[in-house]
Amino acid sequence: MFGALGGPRLLLRRLREVMVEPISPQARLDKIVVHIAANMVAEVCSVYVLRADGRLELSATEGLNREAVHLTTMRTGEGLVGLIAETAEPLALSDAQRHPAFSYRPETGEEIYSSFLGVPILRGGNTLGVLVVQNRAHRTYSEEEVEALQTTAMLLAEMIASGEVQSVVVPGSYIALRRPLALSGTPIADGVGLGHVVLHEPRIVVKQLVAEDIKRETERLDTAIEAMRQSIDRLIDSRVMGPGEHREVLETFRMFAHDRGWLRRLREAVTSGLTAEAAVERVQNDARAKLQRRTEPYLRERLHDLDDLANRLLHQLTGQSYVTSHEDLPANAIVVARTMGPAALLEYDRTKLRGLVLEDGSAGSHVAIVARALGIAAIGGVSNIIDFVEPGDAIIVDATTGDVHVRPPHDVERAYAEKARMRARRQEQYRKFRDVPTVTRDGTRIDLGMNAGLLVDLQHVEETGASSIGLFRTEFQFMLAERFPRMREQEALYRAALEQISGKPITFRTLDIGSDKHLPYMTKIDEENPALGWRAIRIGLDRPGLLRMQLRGLLHAGAGHRLRIMFPMIATVEEFEQAKALVEREIAHLRRHGRALPHHLELGVMVEVPSLLWQLDEICPRVDFLSVGSNDLVQYLYAADRENKRISDRYDVLSAPILRALKFIVDKAQAARKPVTLCGEIGGRPLEAMALLAIGFRSLSMSAASIGPVKAMVLATDLARLEPFVAELIAESHGSSSLREKLRRFAEEHTIPV
């Protein structure tokens, strides 16, 4: 039953006028409750704002005692209002006082009101407050009235989210939206970053909530739904998609896009007076509020699907772009994303990037490697962070512990600023011993190289005192480009690298794409197991044109230099021989054309596919050097996807099976007198690197930021003590238990910084 004033649409129009009046936030709230009460023929209308301390504060009322405003508060879960905040569901009662949760507040004078209708004020699935109407008479609120009040609550959510309401709650407290939050995840790239949230996929801001013309909005909604369905159908039907996981995901998607309940709710929201985009937001807020409170993984997955659909619809309706424009990246940006590939991260301006927080993502993923290469703090596995942050929020990423602080209180921020300063000071110290030779306490020389992939990385060679570039990931250039880089472009990069760090060796790895490193301009083939699929040298040998072009670029650039080329993912001796034959063909071609050649050419393989371990006797004599790709080798040895955060803690590299396998490689290489290095991420972690020295590695290549800490470890290590200790540890280990703690204790007892 709506009042003579004309139902929800008129109410929305009135409220919209109130929203833009130049009055104080309190006056605005006071006016809003009067309008709502009048329109809904209720004697009472009250707004409760949720504060950061978890209390709901009566912030405006029409009908209850005015003196109670800002005095009456209740906890979430306490009373009917607290119950609504807790469940995020509307509650309509004709006899409120008989409800078991009813709690009597004498100061409000509410005892004379029998019926009660309350709805949560929601934004992004988070409760910001509660909106209530009450009547003296016993009455049943209609579905339509509940809907109307929910729609009105959206306007209040906007007002609260704008920050305006902050001045309304009692001094000294914060509204919940600005509540400091501490979340945690798994560190994937070391560092401490302080800055402001940038959403990788920006949430669409719906500016106009109230419809001018309902018929038109219904048509807009229908057109957008149809367009969205068609785009999903096209994706499913396109030849690019084979059977398999992606297709299943899209099929589920298609199912939701035709879900009657979802569509009905969208239409109803438009009929109640919202614009099409506001309707999408409104329905999605409800779904989030409900699903977020559920713990079943499949329901949370469903929430992701629904979120994606809602996002697609909003993009259709508003025409706003999908990704954050990189141009207006604020200084000290901390990028927050559900998931992200390495290429997307590389597109950000690294001079402004301070950190990365992902809902997915594990330490072995390529986006993690890129984060380390860029030297930014990164944390993966932070569940639902997207729902809790707004662009521009202050945020701290502590990737030394995995802690993320959103909207941190001042003292936390001060403490972290201090921590960041301390780390900078330590980096300064590392820089000081840049020129100190890297030798163990008992005089063994250790070679510390750097992993790179972009020109900007090269400056770090000088800064860190790295002895070489042990791994140059050539695919980064390909991942950044909009089309295949031409041979000249490839050559220019290789030449610049060789010239910039002349005198120090660079090991160029040929294109290692496939798995999670896919090129935007190359048709993505759908494979059941991309990590075991068509990647790296397999693509290179099947598409020799591509590999030959790269080899030619390398040979051109290497003219007059020492050139080292390494092939990734070699699984058989034959693969190496085929790759080598391509190099020889290119050399013959250059000779025929009288071109200058490298004065020294070395060819090597990455040892990262387990089958190669059993061909070391054959491969060693054929290559000039070996480089262990422990990231891939470990994932294949344990059959544990390096990208999968669910299993990333299950096995420890510091365990006998892995250390034995790695020692086996070193021993074979030494027996064949072939240099061997390790360029996986474990080489850059001081404790792991210490274990690698113990089993015989004398050369490691790592991200720039790791060189200082690893060097500090080397300088403090006495191999004569370490080697027998680790040998015994491995020999006595049963099964695959972690040796981490024992190694850490050894380091501690011998004051080795790890």
Work out whether 632 is an interface residue with Mg ion (CB under 5 A): yes
Work out whether 658 is an interface residue with ligand PEP (CB under 6 A): no
Distance CA(416)–CA(396), nearest Å, equals 8
Work out whether 688 is an interface residue with ligand PEP (CB under 6 A): no
Distances (CA, A) of 619 to 571, 575, 635: 10, 10, 22
Distance CA(739)–CA(534), nearest Å, equals 35
Work out whether 408 is an interface residue with Mg ion (CB under 5 A): no
- The answer to whether residues 242 and 526 touch, using CB atoms and an 8 Å cutoff, is yes
For residue 632, the minimal CB distance to ligand PEP (Å) is 3
Distance CA(540)–CA(527), nearest Å, equals 18
Work out whether 641 is an interface residue with ligand PEP (CB under 6 A): no
The dihedral sign for the CA sequence 699, 704, 706, 711: positive
For residue 629, the minimal CB distance to Mg ion (Å) is 4
Query: Rule CB under 6 A: which of 98-117 touch ligand PEP?
Result: none
If residue 397 lies in a helix (H) or strand (E), which one and from where to where? strand 394-398
138: annotated active-site residue? no
Work out whether 277 is an interface residue with ligand PEP (CB under 6 A): no
Query: Rule CB under 6 A: which of 473-502 touch ligand PEP?
Result: 473
Of 209 and 363, the one with the shorter C-beta distance to ligand PEP is 363
Of 485 and 629, the one with the shorter C-beta distance to ligand PEP is 629
Q: Which does 151 bind (CB under 5 to 8 A by kind): Mg ion, ligand PEP, none?
A: none
Of 52 and 613, the one with the shorter C-beta distance to ligand PEP is 613
Token couple for 529: 């197991």
Question: Catalytic: which of 35, 556, 561, 679?
Answer: 679
Work out whether 632 is an interface residue with ligand PEP (CB under 6 A): yes
Question: Catalytic: which of 35, 200, 366, 460?
Answer: 366
- The answer to whether residues 597 and 577 touch, using CB atoms and an 8 Å cutoff, is no
Q: SS3 for 466-481, per residue?
A: CCCEEEEECHHHHHHC
Distance CA(484)–CA(486), nearest Å, equals 6
Of 147 and 608, the one with the shorter C-beta distance to Mg ion is 608
Using CB under 6 A as the binding criterion, the count of chain residues that bind ligand PEP stands at 11
Work out whether 540 is an interface residue with ligand PEP (CB under 6 A): no
Distance CA(617)–CA(638), nearest Å, equals 23
Work out whether 630 is an interface residue with ligand PEP (CB under 6 A): yes
Q: Which does 643 bind (CB under 5 to 8 A by kind): Mg ion, ligand PEP, none?
A: none
Distance CA(120)–CA(544), nearest Å, equals 62
Distances (CA, A) of 243 to 230, 305, 318, 526, 740: 19, 19, 33, 8, 42
Q: Which does 680 bind (CB under 5 to 8 A by kind): Mg ion, ligand PEP, none?
A: ligand PEP
Largest pairwise CA distance in the chain? 102
Work out whether 641 is an interface residue with Mg ion (CB under 5 A): no
Work out whether 79 is an interface residue with Mg ion (CB under 5 A): no
Q: Which stretch binds Mg ion (CB under 5 A): 100-108, 268-276, 322-330, 606-614?
A: 606-614
Of 31 and 663, the one with the shorter C-beta distance to ligand PEP is 663
Distance CA(307)–CA(296), nearest Å, equals 17
Q: Which stretch binds ligand PEP (CB under 6 A): 75-83, 394-402, 625-633, 706-714?
A: 625-633
Work out whether 558 is an interface residue with Mg ion (CB under 5 A): no
For residue 673, the minimal CB distance to ligand PEP (Å) is 24
Distance CA(378)–CA(398), nearest Å, equals 8
- The answer to whether residues 77 and 100 touch, using CB atoms and an 8 Å cutoff, is no
Distance CA(86)–CA(64), nearest Å, equals 23
Q: What is the DSSP letter of 612?
A: G
Query: Rule CB under 6 A: which of 347-386 touch ligand PEP?
Result: 369
Q: Please give the sequence-ordered ranges of beta strands (E in DSSP) within 608-745, or none if there are none.
A: 625-628, 676-678, 699-702
620: annotated active-site residue? no
For residue 366, the minimal CB distance to ligand PEP (Å) is 7
- The answer to whether residues 186 and 645 touch, using CB atoms and an 8 Å cutoff, is yes
Question: Site residues (CB under 5 A) for Mg ion?
Answer: 608, 629, 632
Catalytic residues: 366, 679
Question: Site residues (CB under 6 A) for ligand PEP?
Answer: 369, 471, 473, 512, 608, 629-632, 679-680
